[in-house]
Chains A and B, each alone.
Chain A
Amino acid sequence: MKKLRLFAAEELALALRSRWTQIFALVFAALSAAVAGAGYVLSGGQGVQDFARTAVSLVQLVVLLVPLTALVIGVLSLAPERGAAELIYSQPVPRRTVLLGKLLGLFQALAAAQAMGFGAAGLLVYSQAGSEGVGGFVLLVLASLLTTAIFLGLAALLATGAVGRKRTRALALALVVWFVAVVLLDLAALGIASVLPSGPASRVLMVAAIVNPVGAVRTGALLGIEGTGAFGAASLALFRFTRGAGGVGVVLGASVLFWLVVPTLFALRRLRRADV
């Protein structure tokens, strides 16, 4: 446990010094503040939107940006230079300790970077609109952290065994994974649904929203913030499909848990037998 924390601390220090993390923190803070402030502009200077409405607007930003940065920063940090990997894995420490420690450190760094953005947006909203709907905002932050953890796990899977030259390939794969999870799956589901009759079509959309990690987090966050109003008729269909709100929670939770645990487990398994 002490060794795991040691790797986490080193990775955290490295990530905080990395240009990538710093850029992400700044961009994310700027965009979050912009989203929060946009309500002010849209309402013609009447005041910013409350926490719940801001959270809904921020979900899109989180879903787009957080997987991308977790994948890219994750792969860059977890697929080390050959000479560095050789030295680390020759130490008397199980490989899983190394990987889990690094994942923990990266998670802390990305969480800190996001905290800047959420902090800025939160302060802006609180100063203008008070604390109404703050529960939804907290849910959004939670969703963002879950997304971070899920995509760090996927990055670990891509990065293990990608020592030295293979780093570039792992990085390219990370971009493909991001594109598929964030863009392609939704588009494909919409495309398929558009040619189907409405019953099967809504089922396709629902499955896409549950199976895809990005979809599951987004659906969960929006339902949590807005309740059944989130997707109109589609939410009602989803509730029917899963037999009530509890069912939705279980299904989405299972999907998130799956994506949280399984890629990391595969990464650990792959790492155990890999040649460094």
Chain B
Amino acid sequence: MISFRSFSKSFGAQLAVDGLNLEVARGEVLALLGPNGSGKTTTLKAAAGLIVPSAGAVMLGEPPRSAQEPAAREVLSYLPQKVSFPDALTGREIVEFYRELRDLPGERVPKVMRFASLNGAGERMVGTYSGGMVQRLGLAVAMLPEAPVFLLDEPTAALDPDGLCAFDALVQHAREDGRAVLFTSHQLGDVERLADRFAILVGGRLVACLSASDLKDRLAERGVMRLRFAPVEGRDWTAEAVLPAVRPLAPAASWSGDELIVPGPASVRPRVLDLVRTLGIEVRGLTADEGQLGELYRELVAEAAPAHGEGAK
């Protein structure tokens, strides 16, 4: 539904996005990650037809049409990173305006106002809204047309826990309806919970694109199991005794204090446990941690940064 074809954009000498190839299919939720200034907003703006690509193209819908064409944007709902509205209009007037602009039935208005929990504030001027209320109004406008393509630029940045909950429901709903969602966020928790795929931009280049199952595998590899053994009179459960036996299964296993540390995928853990039992050791404590998306993200960014560092700043 969204397709970036060798899309590049430069602002003067500044290359903001460099040869991006990326597709978002129906029913797919793709999270675009990357450090500040890595080109996420530029990418979304191009898909919203707001900026003219310096090279390549961005296509929307089926059959694909250039995002530059107004008619192609019928399929689109875009929430800007820092959405704002004229101060002198009320929330309801704004939603009503966009409803008429998109030729939608009147019953959509109370629906999205309720979704955004703006019913109480609907008659107030937007100039009196808090930052999060403006963001909610932006979401209300974005969900108004039930468009097949959602582009959301840091939609959760200003939301309170209730707002986040409503947003999760919105994304879930969009996925079930077979819409394509492309969103950016720095909240890796939201990202991990919501997205089917993760694309990481660094310095305007796509450095990684992982599916949720890729991500699970990658994170599992970075998991770690810690075992503590019950002391038994006359037996020595120290590194020398246990490690040589465990190493063939988990080469990175190590001993720390009184714990056996077994890094690596979850799949080796039961086998290590079995082995330990056959050695006649009693396990007294077991903890297992999965890898953190945050760590993986930082590593991927750091890997890419030296190569593309000059593009970033």
A211 contacts the other chain (Cβ, under 8 Å)?
no
A276 contacts the other chain (Cβ, under 8 Å)?
yes
A179 contacts the other chain (Cβ, under 8 Å)?
no
**Residues B70 and A86 in contact, CB atoms below 8 Å apart:** no
Taken together as a complex, chains A and B put the C-alpha atoms of A13 and B93 apart, in Å, by: 10
Which B residues touch A80, using CB under 8 A? 86
A91 contacts the other chain (Cβ, under 8 Å)?
yes
In the complex, what residue of chain A is closest to B51 when comparing beta carbons?
A275
CB distance from A187 to the nearest CB of B (A): 38
Task: List A residues 95-117 near B (Cβ within 8 Å).
Answer: 95
Taken together as a complex, chains A and B put the C-alpha atoms of A84 and B85 apart, in Å, by: 5
Interface string of B262-299 (1 = CB under 8 A from A): 00000000000000000000000000000000000000
CB distance from A272 to the nearest CB of B (A): 9
Taken together as a complex, chains A and B put the C-alpha atoms of A14 and B97 apart, in Å, by: 12
**Residues A86 and B101 in contact, CB atoms below 8 Å apart:** no
Q: CB within 8 A of A83: which of B76, B80, B101?
A: B80
A254 contacts the other chain (Cβ, under 8 Å)?
no
Taken together as a complex, chains A and B put the C-alpha atoms of A273 and B89 apart, in Å, by: 29
Interface string of B4-35 (1 = CB under 8 A from A): 00000001000000000000000000000000
Which B residues touch A276, using CB under 8 A? 45, 50-51
**Residues B82 and A93 in contact, CB atoms below 8 Å apart:** no
A10 contacts the other chain (Cβ, under 8 Å)?
yes
A168 contacts the other chain (Cβ, under 8 Å)?
no
B138 contacts the other chain (Cβ, under 8 Å)?
yes
Q: How many residues of A contact B (CB 8 A)?
A: 24
CB distance from B184 to the nearest CB of A (A): 14
CB distance from B193 to the nearest CB of A (A): 26
- Most B CB contacts (10 A, CB to CB) among A6, A90, A95 go to A90
Which A residues touch B89, using CB under 8 A? 10, 13-14
CB distance from A11 to the nearest CB of B (A): 9
Task: List A residues 1-39 near B (Cβ within 8 Å).
Answer: 3, 6, 10, 13-14, 17-18
- Most B CB contacts (10 A, CB to CB) among A17, A86, A95, A275 go to A86
Taken together as a complex, chains A and B put the C-alpha atoms of A63 and B302 apart, in Å, by: 63
Q: Assess A87 versus B88: contact at CB under 8 Å? Given A3-B101, A92-B70.
A: no
Chain A interface mostly: helix
A231 contacts the other chain (Cβ, under 8 Å)?
no
**Residues A14 and B86 in contact, CB atoms below 8 Å apart:** yes
CB distance from B299 to the nearest CB of A (A): 33
Q: Assess A86 versus B50: contact at CB under 8 Å? Given A81-B84, A91-B102.
A: yes
**Residues B48 and A92 in contact, CB atoms below 8 Å apart:** no
Interface string of A178-197 (1 = CB under 8 A from B): 00000000000000000000
**Residues B48 and A90 in contact, CB atoms below 8 Å apart:** yes
**Residues B82 and A82 in contact, CB atoms below 8 Å apart:** yes
Interface string of A55-87 (1 = CB under 8 A from B): 000000000000000000000000011111011
B78 contacts the other chain (Cβ, under 8 Å)?
yes
In the complex, what residue of chain B is closest to A93 when comparing beta carbons?
B70
Interchain Cβ contacts under 8 Å between A and B, 29 examples: A6-B97, A10-B89, A10-B97, A82-B80, A82-B82, A83-B83, A84-B83, A84-B84, A84-B86, A86-B45, A86-B50, A86-B80, A87-B80, A87-B85, A87-B138, A89-B48, A90-B48, A90-B49, A90-B50, A90-B151, A91-B73, A91-B101, A92-B71, A92-B73, A92-B76, A93-B101, A94-B70, A273-B52, A275-B51
Smallest CB-CB A-B distances: 5 pairs: A83-B84, A86-B80, A90-B48, A90-B78, A92-B73
Residue positions of A touching B, CB distance < 8 A: 3, 6, 10, 13-14, 17-18, 80-84, 86-87, 89-95, 273, 275-276
